Amino acid sequence: MMKAQRFDSVWEALEASPATSANMKARAELMVALTETIDGWGASQAAAAKRLGITQPRLNDLLRGRITKFSLDALMKLAPRAGLAVRVKIMRPAA
State mean pLDDT over 13-36.
Answer: 86
Please tell me which residue, 21 or 62, carries the higher pLDDT value: 62
State mean pLDDT over 28-49.
Answer: 97
Does 88 reside within a domain?
no
- Residue 16: pLDDT band (50, 70, 90) is low
Does 89 reside within a domain?
no
Does 30 reside within a domain?
yes
Domain of residue 32, residue span: 10-80
pLDDT at 10 over 80: no
Does 92 reside within a domain?
no
The number of domains in the chain is 1
- Residue 68: pLDDT band (50, 70, 90) is very high
Does 25 reside within a domain?
yes
Confidence (pLDDT) at 90: 86
Confidence (pLDDT) at 21: 86
Which distant-in-sequence residues (6+ apart) come within 8 Å of 22 by Cβ? 11
Confidence (pLDDT) at 93: 74
From residue 85, alpha-carbon distances to 2, 14, 37, 59, 62 in Å are 43, 28, 12, 19, 18
Does 52 reside within a domain?
yes
Does 95 reside within a domain?
no
CATH of the domain at 39: 1.10.260.40
The Cα 95–Cα 92 span in angstroms is 9
Does 75 reside within a domain?
yes
